Amino acid sequence: MKTVTLILSLLVALLFSSCSTYQYVGLTPLKIDASDDVGASLTDSLEINYSFDGDGGEIQVEIFNRSMRPVLVDKSKSSLIRSGETIPFFDNTSRISSTSHSRQSYVNDRDYYTTTNGEIQTDPSVLFIPPDSKVNVRGPVLEQSFFDFPDENQVETVNLRTDNGYYKTRTVSFSGEETPATYRLFLTIIPYGKDEAPVFVRQQFIVNRLTNTSLSPGYFTNDGENIFFIQKSTGFGAFMGGVAAIAVVVALVVAGGA
């Protein structure tokens, strides 16, 4: 009985040892800019909303076409510009998904037959938007690594509001000149028709706030702001997980020999 209790305790320790810390990145949008007067006229009939999803902030652009004619979004000519680097919206890789089912032959018990069904998924380079409809354009992630915090005298300990009450955490805010990063989103939109010139839509976001906390995204409330998170596993959590895993193995060996 003591061995069973020990194993259960170690399993609980293993479960809670996978510690992660999160950095929540707040963004301020700057004014949308079209390439020319014709572009401004077109974008006036388009409702463009930006959001950022998941770890790293995958770009999500919802485009609602309120005009009376179709438009095209060319992802191969749309990009994220980050620190001078151009990262295309169009992902040229193919994703393969498949399922397999195996069964044993009724004639010969040693013969097995496998049936595999699969499909290859590709990212379309051009999206067609009919009048009075919308599409969601997915782009690359904004960041994959934590931003460095500035000097301690600029960091505030604040009570962060969550769905379960208030939670103490560390945060720092930036003005436009102090921002640690600027993201420029560049979209190519083409009115549908022969010999139509493309329109280039530019949108910028600057980082205005960083928040470091162990609070997971499921409990974080962003009050409708443009915000994304970056997740990082802590070394202590990985170390304790390894210790707990070894202890579980030892306990199982001892229990087996008892």
Residue with tokens 């963004």: 27
Residues 224, 5 contacting (CB under 8 angstroms): no
Whether the per-residue pLDDT at 257 is higher than 60: the answer is no
Q: Is the pLDDT of residue 22 over 60?
A: yes
pLDDT band of 12, cuts 50, 70, 90: very low
pLDDT tier, 146 (very low <50, low <70, confident <90, very high otherwise): very high
Three-state secondary structure of 35-66: CCHHHHHHHHCEEEEEEEECECCEEEEEEEEC
Residue 165 is predicted with a pLDDT of 75
Instruction: Kindly state the tokens that stand for 191.
Output: 């009115």
Single out the residue of 185, 193, 199, 198 nearest to residue 137, CA to CA: 185
The model's pLDDT over 54-79, given as tens digits with 9 standing for 90+, comes to 899 999 999 999 989 999 999 999 99
pLDDT given at position 55: 93
- The predicted pLDDT at position 255 comes to 53
Of residues 3 and 123, more confidently modeled: 123
The pLDDT assigned to 130 comes to: 96
Q: 115 forms bridges with which residues in the sheet?
A: 101
Q: Cβ(226)–Cβ(52) under 8 Å?
A: yes
Range list of β-strands (E), 123-198: 126-129, 133-141, 156-162, 165-173, 182-191
List Cα–Cα distances, 176 to 82, 160, 180, 209, in angstroms. 16, 23, 9, 11
pLDDT at 7 over 80: no
List b or e across 121-136, with b for residues whose CB sees 16 or more CB atoms inside 10 angstroms: eeeebebebeeeeeee
Report the C-alpha gap between 155 and 124 in whole angstroms.
44
Give residue-wise pLDDT tens across range 93-128: 645 665 665 665 555 555 555 666 656 555 678 999
By the 8 A CB rule, do 21 and 214 touch?
yes
Residue 233 has pLDDT above 70, yes or no: yes
Q: How confident is the model at residue 15 (pLDDT cuts 50, 70, 90)?
A: very low
pLDDT confidence of residue 186: 95
Q: List the single range of 6-20, 29-43, 90-104 with lowest mean pLDDT.
A: 6-20
If we measure between CA atoms, which residue out of 58, 59, 61, 57 comes closest to residue 47? 61
**pLDDT tens, position by position, 198-219:** 889 999 999 999 999 888 888 7
Q: Are residues 182 and 205 in contact, defined by beta-carbon separation less than 8 angstroms? A: yes
Q: What are the extents of the domains in the chain?
A: 1-17+234-258, 20-233
C-beta of residue 203 within 8 angstroms of C-beta of residue 29: yes
Query: Which comes out higher in pLDDT, residue 104 or 25?
Result: 25
What pTM did the predictor assign?
0.72
pLDDT given for residue 170 in this prediction = 87
Find the mean pLDDT for residues 19-41: 78
- Where residue 153 falls among pLDDT bands split at 50, 70, 90? low
Question: H-type helices in 76-152, by residue range?
Answer: none
* Contact indicator for 199, 38 with CB cutoff of 8 Å: yes
Half-sphere exposure of 70 (CA within 13 A, CB side): 10
Looking at every residue in the chain, the average pLDDT score rounds to: 78
Q: Phi, psi (5° rounding) for residue 93? A: -85, 155
